[in-house]
Structure 1
Amino acid sequence: MKNALVAAIAAMILAATGVPGATAKGVRQVDVQFAAGAASASFKGSVKGDRSAQYRLEAKAGQTLSVSLRARNASANFNVLAPGSDTAMFIGQVSGSDFSGVLPVDGVYVVDVHLVRAAARRNEGADFAIDFRIDAGQGGSAGPDGSPAMPPVPQPDFADSYGGGPDFWAVMGLVAGDTLKLRAEPSAQAQTILQLGEGAVVRNLGCRPIDGARWCRVQLTGDADAAGWVDGRHLREAAAPAGPQDARVADTLYHATGQIPCSFKGNDSVRACDFGVVRSGKGVATVDVTLPDGFKRTLHVSHGQVTTSAGTVTTRRDGDDTLVTVDDAETFVLPDALVDGG
């Protein structure tokens, strides 16, 4: 019986069922079962507030476990715990949304999906998809005393690591005219996603030290896709953004929708474009503009600074409007009232 189970695990492909089990309050437990001849498994689930979902799967030392989590809410993370251990061998808040490692011991591994503490305190929710894969191995490596070697456990160096600390940060202390770059990875060489101006307020998703610098993962309020890493030197604790952020257009994520003036080089027939705006406080907003071909241009506005993920942006003021030009080919008129509300 045991040999048959081990063979099935080594050969798995697809998650057959998730069987909820009785666990501690706020924890939903799923026993991951696999069909013979398989190598991967996929589940969908959700977490909210301080409630978590724990996926339990049995595996052997030396096998390689791979886990990948996909969620629109960047506050969703997962930890991997070895059999009988209360200390995570992988911490998603530190290492990202993908794990792959050789397992050190035989037994039941726990993959715990949860929200970081700051998001849990706000009682946020997150729908997610999670993928598992186990590849057969040749046996685990041993430690100095002959026991199975455990992967190093990442350790926080700051009190606000892993989602602790304040719920919101404000960008402060920039040189006049400068911006704080939101990057895809915690490195000054990583791709710039967008730029934040002085006073911009962002959600705190946790900080950690890297190469002597303090990097913090943050998210623009109201825009789940605008999440990344910034230099923590320019962050100060802030209150939740004030303004109309809770008043949304029915059945949308937007605080306002409509049309704005727009023009396109080589196409004189277009004079207006549909838009939707998510406001994150005075002077800070994300504006989605639908182009004539159906492409959605996302403009990130932060206290006069405008950026987009693909394209070179130039701006100029015209009364109470900001004229935004992308790649010298697309021009959009953003009224102050669109960004600030009211």
Structure 2
Amino acid sequence: MAPSVRYPRPVTIHHVAEEASVSKSTVSLVLQGSPLVRDETAERVREAAHKLGYVYNRRAAELRRQSSNMIGVVINDLMNPFFAELLAGVERRLMDAGYIVLMAHAQESPDRQRRVLQSMREHHAAGILLCPALGTPRSLPHELLPWGIPLVVMVRSLGAGAYDYAGSDNECGVRMATRHLVDTGHRRIAFLGGRTGPAYAERLRGYRKALAAARIPFDPQLVIEADPGRGGGRDAMARTLRIDPRPTAAVCYNDITAFGALAALGEQGLRAGADFALIGFDNVSDAAHSNPPLSTVDIHPGDLGEQAAAALMARIAQPSVERQIYLAKPRLMLRRSG
């Protein structure tokens, strides 16, 4: 008869606690990344787990307590480097706190966004950070309330409501950029890119207020609506250059729109800064390295992501905390384009 096979016994949390001379609850706290355990004790527990070959089954622990350490992050447009930099800030803050980030791309589709949100609910997300897709109904935060999952809306406001929000002072930033162009002698100033939504309305309002303060009549033909991307920016600038009399400067809805506008200027043999003043919005890292370097409104995308993550963690820790609103203070970054 063949000898029976003896399998090694599974290593459990009890064995780790015994090896480290601590309680099971202390081991559990260490494995969950809790800051409540002293560093030297936590290190002893980790060494014991490594020595014994113990592997923490995080999913089983989540099922036992009907929660998770997973945070869902829904980004509307990953083709825009602004959102990549925002996401880096989000991940930096959440991972330092022991959370796992599950990112999904809504591709500017409200329908896809709903499916993604439902999936995150089914996976028991501990919280959700959402950059709303264009066309997202303002009622969405209220519709998600019965889920009991903390939500922070980022970048694009959904109007009045009780939800937490992290974004930028859009009106102030564009007003600042437009005022700079006025102060440097421009009178025919266009506003390029964007079509709809609260962020677009806020930025357009800043543009109009700066013109009004300088007693420059608002000319609706200088507002060139376009998709907020490179293609939209290129098309918007091409249309701008056909206006008679031709504008001499423009503020763009975002930096990606401005990059497209830079390309259109080059196609016409014009150079931003020398022949046409151009200012973007966001200050993505590529703005400093465009040709020429792009003047822009800096809203610190990475910091904004960290602040959004901090607001979500505060909501998770204390569900009854008052509504949190973070608005990044814009700063004008003047480079060679404007």
TM-score by length of 1: 0.28
More strand by share: 1
Give the structure with the larger helix fraction.
2
Q: Computing the radius of gyration over CA atoms, which structure comes out larger, 1 or 2? A: 2
**TM-score using structure 2 length:** 0.29
